[in-house]
Amino acid sequence: MKKNSLEVTKYIQIARKKQNEGNIYQANEIYKNLINQKIYTYDLLISYGLFCKEISNLKIAKNLFFLSIKKYPLKINSYIFLAEILRKENNINDALKTLYAAKKIEKFNSEIDYNLSITFKTIQSFKEAKLSIDSAINQNPDNQIYQILKADILIESSNNEDAKKLLLNLKLPKDSILFFQREILLSKIYINEKQYRLAEEVLFGLRELFSKERILYLNLSDLYFKNKELDKGILILKEGIKNFPEFIPLRFNLGIMYRNLGLIELSIKTHLEILLDDQFNSKSYYELSTMYNFSKHNKQLKTLLNIDIENLSQKEKIYFCYSKANAFHNKKDFKKSAHFLKIANEEKLKIQPSDIKRKLKTGEYFRNLKIDQNLNFEKVKDSNRYLFIVGMPRCGSTLLESILSLNPEVKDLGEVFFLEESLQKSDDLLEVKNLYREKVMLLNSKKKIFTDKNLFNFLYCPIIYELFPNARIIHCIRNPLDNILSIYRTNFLNQSFSSSLNDISDLYLYHIDLMKEYKSKFGSIIYSYDHEKVVQDPKETIHDLINWLDWEWSEKYLSPQKNKRSVFTASSAQVRQKINSYSSGFWKKYEDMLEPIIDLFPTYG
């Protein structure tokens, strides 16, 4: 017998009570029974949809919200809840369409604008995200949740000062979740400003107030990762895992830190343990595929290779396709490897289009920049010596930095953005020089020689030449087809040009042309380091480099795999091996995939 609306409301209340008591199965049965009777009241569809969303049954939740929109097209919440699920599934276009459909019904609704802002932020469209959250705030200026989101957007778009001002103006009770969120964002600002100790104080203060918030351990580990204090990071992660053993992100971060410290076996073990609890963890599969061939774990390998990518969210699809490509590469099935590489990179470009135009524009700006010859750069006293390692990603630069940092006088900075950040902050080149020096000194004030391995500093060679008389530039090159293949095979998170073979090739050729010009202008400070020659004849080539630097020769430079330094690049596993030529000429295995660009490099193809 079909129930009336009052009875339906009564059963919904019972289901909610069961859910609050933790009786998920009983709550679900009540909801299912009502739906099976085709009772489609708005309250039931929304309540059951939210219940399914909370227990991660997103497919049913989505269907319920779709049905709610069909039955009650003027009810705005159905659109907002559906958009949340679509966003969670990385179906951003449909999420935006859903919210804009809601906006046609109610043009001025702060919750729609708030959700639009979150959605734009997800795809890093920060301009649109800010416009939407500003609209929400204009309609509801007292909503502090909106203010928190705006601060988050400002931080993500590198506007730390305005974000800090906004956050510090919020008056929030210390025991509130909004206070917690505010302090988390303030710690992010301090990290961005390289004020690591201040960020640590904020997070430790939160830990005293919110001891049951597992996210704190995650944020602390991120802090120590960025500050390159991996030993402290591992300790805090182990403490977090002890308190929250089911929270996989903590264990994942631990695996990453083990890898960067060179503890490859421990990293592999950690990711394999994650797969025991979460057999479809795409990120752990990807990490494993970059450093392990699954030779002793056929079950996990079989699971990986049999995963149907068509039923995955976009991000998971990307990670699994890269993982499958690496697995087939290890099995020497290069055709299948190429197949999944293409899918992974095509999907990445849908999320984030190539950034090659921005890089080329930057290169041309500094290529044509007229530097005032009357500027006295010696005003900013700096006795440090900087070694700028430049080139394309995956050119052998991590091996090079490992070699150079065997010199006890050297501090390896890694891939820092100090020069780019300093140039963005000021047009005064004297101030730029001072800002750069200050950033370096924050990391280490005792050393006198520093390696800066931001490879895209090749865009700024004229600035380096003028600002730093003691600087040297080492241009790292590699067989272009091997180099391009290696970039295409790597899941770079912040270099979106890397997902287009054409754009990688264009940028490679541009950087060669640019460096040729700079070598003719500033040749005395630029050294051409050929990775292929190094792996074929390490003693002669490395000896030549050490002589050029005027360093005393030592045989230790031939054993960079013994370097105990932390490595934070995609080569962190490979650099722990002896110098070898294993990957030289590998492009020939992918000749069909590379066929469209081979003619651009006739000497090699």
Element (H, E) at 483: helix 480-488
One-letter-per-residue 3-state SS of 44-101 = HHHHHHHHHHHCCCHHHHHHHHHHHHHHCCCCHHHHHHHHHHHHHCCCHHHHHHHHHH
Q: Which of 219, 221, 216 lies closest to 237 in space, CA to CA?
A: 221
Structure tokens at 252: 């994942």
So what's the pLDDT on residue 92? 86
With beta carbons less than 8 A apart as the criterion, state whether 388 and 473 touch.
yes
Question: Up-side HSE of residue 437: CA atoms within 13 Å toward CB?
Answer: 20
So what's the pLDDT on residue 15? 87
Residue ranges and CATH numbers for the domains of the chain are 357-598 (3.40.50.300)
Structure tokens at 50: 């939210």
Report the distance separating Cα 115 and Cα 96, nearest Å. Answer: 9
So what's the pLDDT on residue 1? 42
Rounded to 10 degrees, what is the CA torsion of 46, 49, 53, 58?
-140
Report the distance separating Cα 570 and Cα 459, nearest Å. Answer: 22
With beta carbons less than 8 A apart as the criterion, state whether 472 and 385 touch.
yes
Angle between helices 24-36 and 42-54 (to 10 degrees): 140
Any residues with CB less than 8 A from the CB of 321 and at least 6 apart, and which? 309, 340, 341, 343, 344, 347
So what's the pLDDT on residue 448? 87
So what's the pLDDT on residue 605? 54
Report the distance separating Cα 24 and Cα 30, nearest Å. Answer: 10
Q: Give Cα separations from 33 to 1, 16, 36, 258, 488 (angstroms).
A: 12, 14, 5, 50, 51
So what's the pLDDT on residue 224? 94
So what's the pLDDT on residue 604? 66
Structure tokens at 65: 């919200």
Report the distance separating Cα 253 and Cα 270, nearest Å. Answer: 10
Distance separating the N- and C-terminal Cα atoms of the chain: 76
Q: Please state the φ and ψ torsions of residue 347, each to the nearest 5 degrees.
A: -65, -40
Report the distance separating Cα 55 and Cα 49, nearest Å. Answer: 10
Determine the residue type at 437: R
With beta carbons less than 8 A apart as the criterion, state whether 137 and 147 touch.
yes
Any residues with CB less than 8 A from the CB of 1 and at least 6 apart, and which? none
Residue ranges for the chain with pLDDT beneath 50: 1
Report the distance separating Cα 428 and Cα 433, nearest Å. Answer: 9
With beta carbons less than 8 A apart as the criterion, state whether 343 and 118 touch.
no
